[in-house]
Amino acid sequence: MTEQRERIKQSVEYIKANMPKGFSADMAIYAEEGFDIDGLKEAGKIKCADIPPAFESQNEQKSKLIFGKLGGKNVIVIQGRYHFYDGYKMRDIGHVIYVLKYLGVEKLITIDEVGHLNPRYSTGEIALIYDHINLMGDNPLIGKNDDELGVRFPDMSNAYDRDLFAKAYKILQDNNVRINEAIYVGVTGPESETDAEARFYREIGGDVAGYSTAAENITAVHCGLKHLAIGLITRDLVADKMMEDERSDKERMKDKKKALSAASNLAAGILKDIVKNI
């Protein structure tokens, strides 16, 4: 057994020993800390920092792994994302996804905060991601491949599962939620994008930019998880318009929090239906 799989096994064994007896779930939701899920009935939880080895926090995060029921289905929820910009290795970020796979998860929903490059989008809305461009300069598959986890060269032609996307699209339609179909540009952060970077990301086809989803998706595809990705649009990254922004940092942060609240409420309001119907 490879060292990578040994670490996954260690995490999975700890979680199984501390999860509610008899609990199983084939769906997981991975979101930022503080994202509340309407209608989630909790059956138990674990502090991610207590899960050995790669879940252990070097940044005093308050991430939680929650076992619960939503939309009539058992789900595993991770509240609190592990970011590359916090100093975690890409393999440790991928570790989280592999552990979900070995816990029996087959479908993954990720909810990630993003900025919008597309001038037709607005902050406070959500983006439904159907593809990505990885500009992070790294990815979780670099290094020796463990064939038990996935193939050396995974096919990314259906990276964001088209069937899940279509079902989520219809749910947004049925709930009269504006649909922003988006190509996600994965960048490292944590600094905000320059005007030139935002223009470049848009010119190469990007609609939104963020710091997490691309790496999580690569891992999900590698280990065979079907992935649906939702972006919470909190920042305006439209080139030229950024140069004209005269708000103070305090005002920007206030507006960002307001947009995050609005987008989170939109996503939380439809998540139960998505879980129920995918």
In sequence order, what are the beta bridge partners of 119? none
Q: How far apart are CA 173 and CA 22, in angstroms?
A: 36
Sign (positive or negative) of CA dihedral 171, 177, 183, 187: negative
Token pair 């944590």 in the structure block, residue:
190
Residue 38: per-residue pLDDT: 87
- In Å, how far from its chain's centre is CA 69? 20
- Rounded to two decimals, the pTM is 0.94
Show the DSSP H helices in 156-248 as ranges.
Answer: 162-174, 195-203, 213-223
Residue 249: per-residue pLDDT: 72
CA angle, residues 172, 106, 173, in degrees to nearest 5: 5
Residue 260 has pLDDT above 80, yes or no: yes
Residue 127: per-residue pLDDT: 97
CATH topology assigned to domain 3-277 = Rossmann fold (3.40.50)
Length in residues, the chain? 278
Residue 57: per-residue pLDDT: 56
How does residue 139 score in pLDDT terms, banded at 50, 70 and 90?
very high
Residue 229: per-residue pLDDT: 98
Average confidence (pLDDT) over 7-26: 95
How does residue 132 score in pLDDT terms, banded at 50, 70 and 90?
very high
Residue 246 has pLDDT above 70, yes or no: no
In sequence order, what are the beta bridge partners of 180? 127
Q: Calculate what percentage of the chain has a pLDDT beyond 90.
A: 79
